[in-house]
Amino acid sequence: MELSSKKKLHALSLAEKIQVLELLDESKMSQSEVARRFQVSQPQISRICKNKEKLLADWCSGTANRERKRKRESKYSGIDEALLCWYHIAQAKAWEVTGPMLLHKAKELADIMGQDFVPSIGWLVRWKRRNNVGFGTHHVLAPSFSSEPPPPGLTSQAQPPLSLKDFSPEDIFGCAEVPLLYRAVPGRAFACDRVKVLLCANSRGTEKRRVLVGGLQAAPRCFFGVCSEVLPASYHPDPDIPWSEWLAQFDQDMGQQGRQVALLLAARVVEELTGLPRLHHVRLLPLSAASTTPSLPSSVVWAFKAHYRHRLLGKLAAVQSRREDTLLADARTRITVLDALHMAAASWAKVPPQLIWSSFIQEGLAPGKMPLALDKASEMPPIPRGLSQEEFSCFVDLEGEEPGPGVCKEETGTEDEEEHREDDFEALPTKAEALQALGTLRRWFECNGTSPELFEKFYDCEAEVERLCCL
């Protein structure tokens, strides 16, 4: 009896995978129907959908080989990326780049990064194939930078080249100081609830710098016992951004990666910088003082605030569910600066890279062509229940309204409540309480019909808690 031959795997190229995503987005075809059209299995289509964001980022990068069917990551990915950044800069400056020059530069970058690596001709061939080097052209937009002379003290950072042409999109960063009423409720704003958040990302949206939150209190009691090094964002006990420290750390991080990057800054911010340390890897590109273009696209800031407000309303609703007689305005007093720090980090992570990329291009802050249109539902959080689109938009932009008076303590309430809260902050959770809380949380998931995917995330959290308890 003749054995049936094994079915040959049909791998799709990047271009075909983008066609699959377009068919699923623009038509009512099911995954099975699309699979039949491309002569692949339905699970393969499902994997393409799960990797949608990464595929779109590769497609819009202009450097990925769109006909390549499989993407194998390099063992030396850090050197791979650093050499690609240097290649883009060399290409923008019209240098004649040769193979021996690339090999020499790769070895130089490896030494800077402390890696024992000797590039070979075979590695270089694979590197060029992976990054599509030698194919396509790069289109550069004319930036609206100031022709005014740099302010005193910034000469070493602001000397030419002050042009986007000298940097690849991955190395163009924008940042913004975002005023945030961290525990506002719809229709009500309190001046004492204002903090400042520093957001920074590169134009591709592939790198988001750690969020920095500036507050009004030197040591909020909610931080008692908290290890600041493990927090997802940084806290600064002053509403003014510590630019000198922040830029020095940014410059150090880029130096460790062997990169030269550009940082877009508003002219007002550059003028206010004093005592700035010498920067070796970060070049400041001040926007024109007459320009209304922000150094981080306004749509990116709005998306961050929309995600933050959405998470804030969810947390306020949770507070109300614990105390049925609690009004929304009273529930806000249970939101601490530490809560705000976590919500800010989570909200910044939710801003999609494609939104950042398209916003930079739209406002002329980065070179490139407009990427494919995104599904609007994936860019913004859903409108919270009980609010209209207009009401939610007003809530997101609440910082533009005149805030009312308010109590500037982190929590307010009766004396008994205050005493109980003080005890909460003094008593740190024990290992036994952490393990008990895990059991309670899992039981709650089991009784409320959660998804298997959420259980997978819970298992990771459970394993980490158990590991820490064994230390």
Q: For residue range 288-336, what is the model confidence (pLDDT) as tens digits?
A: 766 677 889 999 999 999 999 999 988 888 777 766 666 766 778 888 8
Which residue range(s) make up the domain with 110? 77-130
* 259 and 363 share one domain: yes
> Is residue 306 included in any domain, yes or no?
yes
* One domain, residues 258 and 351: yes
61-114 confidence digits (pLDDT tens): 554 554 554 555 556 778 888 888 788 777 776 677 777 788 888 888 888 777
Residues 81 and 116 occupy one common structural domain: yes
User: Structural domain tally of the chain?
Assistant: 4
More confident residue, 14 or 83: 83
Banded model confidence at residue 275, pLDDT cuts 50, 70, 90: low
pLDDT above 70 for 178: yes
Q: Are 99 and 198 in a shared domain? A: no
Same domain, 174 and 239: yes
235 and 207 together in one domain? yes
The confidence score (pLDDT) of residue 300 equals 93
Provide the percentage of residues in the chain whose pLDDT is more than 70.
Answer: 73
Residue 38 lies in a domain: yes
- What's 6's DSSP letter? P
| Residue 10 to residue 416: CA distance in whole angstroms | 68
Q: Is residue 409 part of a domain?
A: no
The residues near 19 (Cβ < 8 Å, ≥ 6 apart) are 38
Where residue 45 sits, what CATH number does that domain have? 1.10.10
Please indicate, yes or no, whether residues 180 and 285 belong to a single structural domain of this protein.
yes
Q: Report the distance separating Cα 380 and Cα 402, nearest Å.
A: 26
240 and 338 in a single domain? The answer is: yes
Distance of CA 65 to the CA centre of its chain: 25
- Strongest mean pLDDT among 51-55, 160-164, 250-254: 250-254
Considering the domain architecture, whether residues 228 and 100 belong to the same structural domain is answered as no
Q: Are residues 118 and 244 in the same domain?
A: no
Average pLDDT over residues 379-404: 75
Alpha-carbon torsion angle 406, 410, 411, 412, nearest 10: -30
The answer to whether the peptide bond before residue 161 is cis (omega within 30 degrees of 0) is yes
| pLDDT, average across residues 412-438 | 60
Q: Under a CB-based contact definition with an 8 Å cutoff, are residues 365 and 143 in contact? A: yes
Inform me whether the pLDDT recorded for 150 exceeds 70.
Answer: no
Q: Tell me the average pLDDT across 1-21.
A: 64
Out of 61, 89, 117, pick the residue that ends a domain: 61
Residue 406 covered by a domain: no
Does one domain contain both 381 and 261?
yes
The last residue of a domain, from among 130, 147, 172: 130
The whole-number average pLDDT for the span 38-65 is 73
pLDDT of the residue at 140: 38
Strand partners, 208: 201
